[in-house]
Amino acid sequence: MDHCHKVGISTDDFLIVENGRASTYMAILDQRNHQVHAFADMKILEEMTPEFINSKSQILRNAKIISLDTGFDDGVIDYIFQNYKRKEIYMSPISTDVHQIADHLNQIHTLRINAREAGLILDRELKTRKDIIAGGKEIIEKGVRRVYITHAGKGVYFNDSRAKMEGYIKTNMLVSKSISGTADAFMAGIIFGTIKDMKPELLTKFAIAMADSTANSRESVNPLLTYDFVMDALKETNL
In this structure, what DSSP letter does residue 113 have?
Answer: E
* Residue pLDDT, tens place only, 27-70: 787 887 677 888 889 899 999 999 999 999 999 999 999 999 88
Q: How confident is the model at residue 230 (pLDDT cuts 50, 70, 90)?
A: very high
Percent over 70 (pLDDT), the chain: 96
Q: How confident is the model at residue 222 (pLDDT cuts 50, 70, 90)?
A: confident
Contact predicate 188/150, CB 8 Å: no
pLDDT of residue 173: 60
Strand spans (E) along the chain: 24-29, 35-41, 65-68, 88-91, 110-114, 146-150, 155-160, 165-170
- Judged against a pLDDT cut of 80, whether residue 115 lies above it is answered with yes
Nearest residue to 158 via CA among 174, 175, 171: 171
pLDDT of residue 175: 53
Answer positive or negative: Cα dihedral of 14, 15, 19, 22: negative
- Judged against a pLDDT cut of 70, whether residue 2 lies above it is answered with yes
- Judged against a pLDDT cut of 80, whether residue 109 lies above it is answered with yes
Mean pLDDT across the chain: 90
Q: What is the mean pLDDT of residues 11-31?
A: 88
- Cα separation, 134 vs 112, whole angstroms: 16
- Judged against a pLDDT cut of 90, whether residue 197 lies above it is answered with yes
pLDDT of residue 178: 62
Domains with residue ranges and CATH for the chain: 1-47 (no CATH), 57-237 (3.40.1190.20)
Q: How confident is the model at residue 236 (pLDDT cuts 50, 70, 90)?
A: confident
pLDDT of residue 7: 87
Contact predicate 209/167, CB 8 Å: no
pLDDT of residue 215: 84
- Cα separation, 205 vs 221, whole angstroms: 19
pLDDT of residue 144: 97
DSSP string, 38-81: EEEE-GGGGG--HHHHHHTHHHHHT-SEEEE-S-S-HHHHHHHH
Q: What is the pTM of this model?
A: 0.90
* Residue pLDDT, tens place only, 140-183: 999 999 999 999 778 999 999 999 999 999 986 655 556 678 88
